[in-house]
Structure 1
Amino acid sequence: MPVKSPDSRTSAWLVMAMLAIVAFPAGVTLHMVRVPAVFQIVGENPTPYGYTWSLLLFVVPIVVIGGWFLPSEEVRIPKRAFWRTIGILVPIGCGLDFFFAHKFFVFTNSAATLGIAAPALGGTVPSEEYVFYFTGFLAVLLIYIWLSEYWLSAYNVPDFANEARRASRLLKFHLESLLVAVLLIGVAFLYKKMRSPFPEGFPGYFTVLVLGGLAPSMSFFPIARRFINWRAFSLTIFMILLISMFWEATLAVPYGWWGYQKRAMMGLFIGAWSGLPIEAVAVWIAVSYGAVIIYETVKIWQASGKGARHAFLGDRSEPASRIQ
């Protein structure tokens, strides 16, 4: 007898529960490392062009999924929605580096890059940084689309176009997302002041991540929730976290490809991972969550056949949608 699938509200909570199932025991175990091992680098240039070559961690999935998996299975994706989403997300990611790199990050190992400096407020960043954000968003979306439209397509909304046309308006305030954002920022602020070895200042990077990840949720979650393939999203976020943790904890931070200004962090550092701040884990959760909500919202808009103003703000002459 087939098992009834949970509704979209329950599915969203299940994804968070799955993350907690992994995060809680991992956090407790890592906390038990009271005396972290000392990482000693031998040689002046242990990772020549390491950061540059490591971009393959995003480039290869992009090429394989976009150039092979999707075309070979004749999976049709909404290209306009995809590229419009990329057009929204990439400037936001690059803007993080341009405006905040001098406040949040450090780049101490120039030999791990091509040595081409890119402009940023208050200085420069390696050109690889902007490629990193561009390919990162591409990878997140393509992994989600491949899982949603092929591997786990049975869990999509059956008649997407008809359901999209039924949505009265896409822009709907979600109070719960705002409350979660306030709670997370408040907890980070208290932790920094009470437990951090660097209590001065404000947890700026964590705040930017929370607002960046939850701003789309505050604006579009009531409608997007119905259309998100939550099984595809859960697998996407675990795949991206796996890539990210391998990248940051074992390569980037230990070898100085990039690092974090500790005074701008909330102060929760993972000693077993070369002092990696918790923000480095949170960033890809925020990115994946925000990216999927924006993509599904843009896809609903495109499928509805409505103009942007009508789709996002609604038409008062129409009855309210039943989609919640």
Structure 2
Amino acid sequence: MARLKGPISPLSSFRLVIAILGMIALPAALTLHTVRVSAVVDASVADPSPYGYTVSLLLFIVPILVIGLWLVPREGVAISKKSFLWTVGILFPLGALLDFFFAHSFFTFPNRAATLGVIFPALGGGVPVEEYVFYFTGFVAILLIYIWLDEYWLAAYSVPIDAAERTDFARLLRFHPQSLFWALVLIGAAILYRSMVVRTPGFPGYFIFLVLGAMLPSAALLPSALPVINWRAFSLTVLVVLLISLLWEATLGVPYGWWGFQDAQMIGLRITAWSDLPIEEVFIWIAVSYATAIVYEIVRRWKSSGKRARHAFLG
């Protein structure tokens, strides 16, 4: 008679997510590496995608509306509004910070006809309002997808809100040295690649921003988030978001000039088959999804414990 295995530990689930991503990424990377000629949009066509960037925001807005206004109420999924709002309130400023301080350092916006033409403030000159909407709806969409998967589609693997794993803790801020180590490894590797392989003036500032945005929360909070994250829901969230974002970036945004990238601020590793898309754009939504899951679950632990913020985080 077959023996049933016990539940997988949170650490094993975390490693399994990494293995799944690697299982997909390795053959994809090898295949894409064989491409030597990039697809090109006909530059002689004037205004090839009128309001394209604006309309494309529906890729985030429609999932938000469907999940938030239909699937969640229909299935009776209970969302902690305070945890939801706290998470968006913590994370969206990161996207706004990226736009306001670094938009013109990291990005270009060559096709203004693909937007409404409404300009919002940013250092070095304004940016299309679509940029701020892009990051806001992105965080909300990722969070709603994860919550719906966690609370309904993959609820069998969710940790209940009143479970001891959520409410019993001494403090939430707990240093995770491995996260800091891998952040330093990734940043060091990017700097070495830029200086030794690309060999043109520049510094991988965009990639460093992404690494710090993902790994600093991990370094401070992962030990407390690890036992309560629904890693199955997280892995499916990442795959869905990657599918949307790569469709967006590789076939629309970059080829049609809705946005572009400052070469001097990139690692210099580009994907030829995807209109020379910088490798950073493959990592951004993995990093965002990772940070979102950690912050949301930490906020839920704090709120479910009934402790004051200082007591919950510092003990």
TM-score range, shorter chain: over 0.9
2:294 corresponding residue in structure 1: 293
Partners of 2:92 and 2:277 in 1: how far apart?
25
Partners of 2:105 and 2:289 in 1: how far apart?
23
2:193 corresponding residue in structure 1: 191
Q: Is the 8 A contact 2:39 2:274 kept in 1?
A: no
1:217 corresponding residue in structure 2: 218
Q: CA deviation at 1:158?
A: 4.1
Counterpart check, 1:147 vs 2:149: yes
Q: Is the 8 A contact 1:249 1:273 kept in 2?
A: yes
1:245 corresponding residue in structure 2: 246
Q: Is the 8 A contact 1:161 1:300 kept in 2?
A: no
Matching residue within 117, 129, 133 for 1:127: 129
Q: CA deviation at 1:202?
A: 1.5
Partners of 1:266 and 1:162 in 2: how far apart?
44
Give the gaps of 5 or more residues in structure 1: 315-324
Aligned length: 313
Partners of 1:50 and 1:163 in 2: how far apart?
46
Matching residue within 42, 45, 48 for 1:43: 45
Partners of 2:178 and 2:200 in 1: how far apart?
29
Give the gaps of 5 or more residues in structure 2: none
Partners of 2:223 and 2:278 in 1: how far apart?
32
Partners of 1:87 and 1:123 in 2: how far apart?
25
Q: CA deviation at 1:38?
A: 3.6
Give SS of 2:166's match: helix
Give SS of 1:201's match: coil
Counterpart check, 1:71 vs 2:66: no
Counterpart check, 1:200 vs 2:201: yes
Q: CA deviation at 1:165?
A: 2.3
Partners of 2:25 and 2:258 in 1: how far apart?
26
Give SS of 1:14's match: helix
Q: Is the 8 A contact 2:59 2:244 kept in 1?
A: yes
Partners of 1:175 and 1:12 in 2: how far apart?
16
Partners of 1:163 and 1:12 in 2: how far apart?
17
Partners of 1:2 and 1:146 in 2: how far apart?
28
Give the fraction of aligned pairs with identical amino acids, expressed as a percent: 59
Q: Is the 8 A contact 2:202 2:266 kept in 1?
A: no
Give SS of 1:108's match: coil
1:317 corresponding residue in structure 2: none
Q: CA deviation at 1:91?
A: 1.1
Q: Is the 8 A contact 2:41 2:256 kept in 1?
A: no
Partners of 1:35 and 1:88 in 2: how far apart?
41
Q: Is the 8 A contact 2:63 2:141 kept in 1?
A: yes
Q: CA deviation at 1:233?
A: 0.1
Residue deviations 1:178-232, cap 9 Å, x none?
A: 0000000111111111222x63232000000000011110000001000000000
Give SS of 2:126's match: strand
Describe how 1:1-324 pairs up with structure 2 within 5 A: 2-158=4-160, 160-196=162-198, 199-314=200-315
Q: TM-score, normalised by structure 2?
A: 0.97
Partners of 1:38 and 1:58 in 2: how far apart?
26
Partners of 1:3 and 1:39 in 2: how far apart?
53
CA RMSD of aligned residues (A): 1.2
Q: Is the 8 A contact 1:161 1:304 kept in 2?
A: no
Q: TM-score, normalised by structure 1?
A: 0.94
Partners of 2:35 and 2:166 in 1: how far apart?
50
Q: CA deviation at 1:159?
A: 5.8
Partners of 1:211 and 1:149 in 2: how far apart?
29
Partners of 1:206 and 1:160 in 2: how far apart?
38
